[in-house]
Amino acid sequence: MSTDTKQIIADALLKNEQAMYGPFFGSLGVTSAMAFAAAGSAYGTAKAGTGIASMAVARPDLVMKAIIPVVMAGIVAIYGLVVAVIVSGKVEPAGANYTINNAFSQFAGGLVCGLCGLGAGYAIGIAGDAGVRALSQQPRMFVGMILILIFAEVLGLYGMIVALILGAT
């Protein structure tokens, strides 16, 4: 193989490594982190909200406790927001310090945070709905409900940690 051919292959490799579609995947990571986390949070808020609405008819004094599933669903959206803001600060035009490796790991980070948030939001919604309904009849259910909600919310936190590790590389 002549040095000319080698040079051509090396150039082609470099060009593919710094492909111009790199920022597309980075931006897609930003979008998926925010959009999926917001979707999960919205479902959790709506599902827990119906439960709060029906239990508050009988026990309006418990509303401070009953609103906690909604707050936790909101925190899941904050995870998505944090990852989206961090990743969006690192998306740049393709070049020597922004290769497709960076872009794909940002895409993966956004996706893992978003989908973990989606799952956590679903879990918070369903467990919160049942929890606040039970709370109106048995106030001692509060600690149990909080524990279930914390375990559901930690799933979103795991996603955020992995996303931060992926996005930081």
Nearest approach, Cβ of residue 102 and another protein (Å): 12
Q: Is 68 in the site for another protein (CB under 8 A)?
A: yes
Stretch that binds another protein, among 1-9, 15-23, 72-80, 96-104 (CB under 8 A): 72-80
Largest CA distance in the chain: 85
Q: Is 75 in the site for another protein (CB under 8 A)?
A: yes
Q: Is 65 in the site for another protein (CB under 8 A)?
A: yes
Among 57, 64, 93, 169, binds another protein (CB under 8 A): 64
Size of the site for another protein (CB under 8 A): 25
Name the residue nearer to another protein (CB basis): 28 or 67: 67
Give, as ranges, the residues between 84 and 113 that touch another protein (CB under 8 A): 85-86, 89-90
State the SS3 of the chain.
CCHHHHHHHHHHHHHHHCCCCHHHHHHHHHHHHHHHHHHHHHHHHHHHHHHHHHHHCCCHHHHHHHCHHHHHHHHHHHHHHHHHHHHHCCCCCCECCECHHHHHHHHHHHHHHHHHHHHHHHHHHHHHHHHHHHHHHCCCHHHHHHHHHHHHHHHHHHHHHHHHHHHHC
Stretch that binds another protein, among 15-23, 28-36, 45-53, 76-84 (CB under 8 A): 76-84
Give, as ranges, the residues between 130 and 159 that touch another protein (CB under 8 A): 139, 142, 146, 157
Instruction: Give Cβ neighbours of residue 38 (< 8 Å, ≥ 6 apart).
Output: 77, 80
Q: Is 37 in the site for another protein (CB under 8 A)?
A: no
The residues of the shown chain that bind another protein, judged by CB under 8 A, are 60-61, 63-65, 67-68, 71-72, 74-75, 78-79, 82, 85-86, 89-90, 139, 142, 146, 157, 160, 164, 168
